[in-house]
Structure 1
């Protein structure tokens, strides 16, 4: 389902075993050419010759980072655990999971390195990506008791949740609740994300109650998931109650304030309760309105965080689905761009909406959005939006008082 793909595009990239198939003869020839290029394309004085550079020159997953490490040490060089952690981090950013796992293996097999909880957690995540969840679970079970910590339990739960293994995730979650360990909001966010991704939004509130019983402070992601679950069930009173509670927790946090204003603007503008098109039944295209609402709140989350690049990515993903959008979806993205002062993005969305073959451009909805921004005390942003509407010849627009 589309929502599932969207929820995990930031934090949940599954391992791809096809990367580690045996080398074909063509790949071998490519490796030979690569070696020659490394040897002759640059003069020696221009080639970076540190450990990180050597490992990153391994273009093919089949080539061994372990061999590079052994050669580096054999040449009389030293390496610290902080060096290895930094190299592993960069490899993971580049999605070079197999080489990062080899770095992790080196750290494990050399007694001079004292592993931290984070090292074990990273290792579980890498094993999941390279060899699969079963292998990661076996590794976790074989860890000494002292290594079964908050971080390693959380990353294993993350692996189950990312794979939509609801039963395993729930079993582990129940086990975790019996442990004498201190967990933060992330653990509960994992379960809430899982339930949202598999359409079991009714279970989200129970996780929130668990979090409250443990006196754990929710973060912005917690509230976003909670609000999304209420909105997806068309429980708008529930949304407003969560926003009210959130306002008492936020203090002077600018991200939270921006998020709450956007959520209120969206709720007051989107007419979630008054349109037959907003029912939670399956549509002809196979995506429920509940899923579209979840997309909307993910956009609002990243608008609250000021993450324009993430908003762009989500909006592009939405449009690539070729599913029928409603005016509500356009209002969500417009309000998010307006909040961030992204007038170019606002103009592009107006053009897309006006040229849409699925949803007619609705000036009355835009006027409601203008009023909502004014009502939220964002008069300057409302005036900027009004100017865009006039520029795009969207119809008669009343002056903002």
Structure 2
């Protein structure tokens, strides 16, 4: 019971932005019919500041906008000047610029670009563009502003994209009650056909706040609506079962995946290997090491193995299996997230394997791809304490001190 309680707590306390089993879904969109338009300049005080564009090596629209180093400088001013000089701007060009700005977390400038696009090219705006607006407004002005914007959209612009974008914003900020209210509206909306990604958003939220017991209810709705699950749906479903050590349902899900029309040959092979893990304390084929290593080509999005398998084998006390899975993960060409380190580190600690836990800390600190997260380690300490494992918390705290890892004041 202590193991199960611990992993429930870890689900709630250790989830970070990298890990979120989550859905990286970001939709893009807006409507000039909104009764109270949001100007991105208001986010920094409302003043427009012209940018000097002389003596630059390149002089195209993208380069001009990306030379705006500070958020207070206005992309709108650059756009107006570009047009004033007799240049043309296409909607696709603006979409590409906004997308790249978002990728580099320059949300205020990306919002200004989409504002200009809506004001000047309204007839060419797509549902995805309106969805992007919701996402950007939530990042620049907050969830309340994004919600007001969505509610102010014309009925024709309240589409699967815009609904899902708002749900994504709620899930990202862990606002469970508001997300649940919106989800009820979604499933009651018969005029729209929502895909698996909308349901994935809701399950991702439940996983991130530690309410894994609510995931099966979302699956039931998905099946009732005859929505086809995708790989990420199975990922979340499997992980929720692993977190509660529901072995029978794990087997049932794997069997369903095996007969899913969307399953590729490589994916079926992965399912076979995973079934061996679940049904046996060791692999029956000595030449196979782990599903992760066997399927190095599987994308990060499809990477369901390590999370629930590590938790599962921790509950069964299979330290050797955790060793193999962790070695396989480190041998893949995928970037390990902080959650990867947290998951295996917590498992070694749970099994009292302090030497191995220390090695994981060293690997994490030496990683050139994923920065060591001291706050996550602090949350691990507190998670152990929350479920009454004070000795393990103390051992881990001492280990972090020995490794010269600074912790947040909450664990001192």
Equivalent residue, structure 2, for 1:98: 108
Q: Does 1:160 align with 2:170?
A: yes
* Structure 2 residue matching 1:67: 3-state secondary structure: helix
* Structure 1 residue matching 2:353: 3-state secondary structure: coil
Equivalent residue, structure 2, for 1:330: 323
Task: Report if the CA contact (8 A) 1:185-1:211 is conserved.
Answer: yes
Equivalent residue, structure 2, for 1:359: 353
Equivalent residue, structure 1, for 2:298: 305
Equivalent residue, structure 1, for 2:275: 264
User: What is the CA distance between 1:202 and its match in structure 2?
Assistant: 1.2
Question: Which of 201, 217, 238 is 2:212 aligned to?
Answer: 201
Q: State how far apart, in whole Å, the 2-side matches of 1:249 and 1:12 are.
A: 23
User: What is the CA distance between 1:3 and its match in structure 2?
Assistant: 2.5
Task: Report if the CA contact (8 A) 1:192-1:204 is conserved.
Answer: yes
* Structure 2 residue matching 1:7: 3-state secondary structure: coil
Q: State how far apart, in whole Å, the 2-side matches of 1:262 and 1:336 are.
A: 15
**TM-score (normalised: structure 2):** 0.62
Task: Report if the CA contact (8 A) 2:102-2:110 is conserved.
Answer: yes
User: What is the CA distance between 1:172 and its match in structure 2?
Assistant: 0.5
Q: State how far apart, in whole Å, the 1-side matches of 2:200 and 2:83 are.
A: 42
Task: Report if the CA contact (8 A) 1:255-1:304 is conserved.
Answer: no
Per-residue deviation, residues 178-208 of structure 1 (Å, max 9, x unmatched): 1120010001101111111111111111111
Moved over 6 A (4+): none
Q: State how far apart, in whole Å, the 2-side matches of 1:263 and 1:152 are.
A: 37
Structure 2 CA distance for partners of 1:267 and 1:231, relative to 1, 3 Å = same
Q: Does 1:238 align with 2:249?
A: yes
Q: Does 1:3 align with 2:32?
A: no
Equivalent residue, structure 2, for 1:48: 58
* Structure 1 residue matching 2:124: 3-state secondary structure: coil
* Structure 2 residue matching 1:95: 3-state secondary structure: coil
User: What is the CA distance between 1:329 and its match in structure 2?
Assistant: 4.3
Structure 2 CA distance for partners of 1:21 and 1:190, relative to 1, 3 Å = same
- List gaps (5 residues or longer) in structure 1: 24-30, 272-296, 315-324, 343-348, 363-401
Task: Report if the CA contact (8 A) 1:258-1:304 is conserved.
Answer: no
* Structure 1 residue matching 2:234: 3-state secondary structure: helix
Question: Which of 121, 143, 146 is 1:133 aligned to?
Answer: 143
RMSD (Å), alpha carbons: 3.9
Q: How many residues align?
A: 294
Q: State how far apart, in whole Å, the 2-side matches of 1:112 and 1:198 are.
A: 39
Equivalent residue, structure 2, for 1:247: 258
User: What is the CA distance between 1:267 and its match in structure 2?
Assistant: 2.9
Matches within 5 A, 1:46-85: 47-85=57-95
Q: State how far apart, in whole Å, the 2-side matches of 1:57 and 1:177 are.
A: 44
Return the structure number with greater relative CO, CA threshold 8 A, min gap 6. Answer: 2
Task: Report if the CA contact (8 A) 1:262-1:304 is conserved.
Answer: no
Task: Report if the CA contact (8 A) 1:160-1:166 is conserved.
Answer: yes
Task: Report if the CA contact (8 A) 1:256-1:304 is conserved.
Answer: no
Q: State how far apart, in whole Å, the 2-side matches of 1:159 and 1:341 are.
A: 30
User: What is the CA distance between 1:331 and its match in structure 2?
Assistant: 3.3
Equivalent residue, structure 2, for 1:374: none
Per-residue deviation, residues 80-120 of structure 1 (Å, max 9, x unmatched): 11111111111111111110100111012225542110000
User: What is the CA distance between 1:57 and its match in structure 2?
Assistant: 1.0
Name which one, 1 or 2, has greater alpha-carbon Rg.
Answer: 1
Matches within 5 A, 1:356-395: 359=353
- List gaps (5 residues or longer) in structure 2: 1-12, 27-39, 283-290, 308-317, 335-340, 357-412
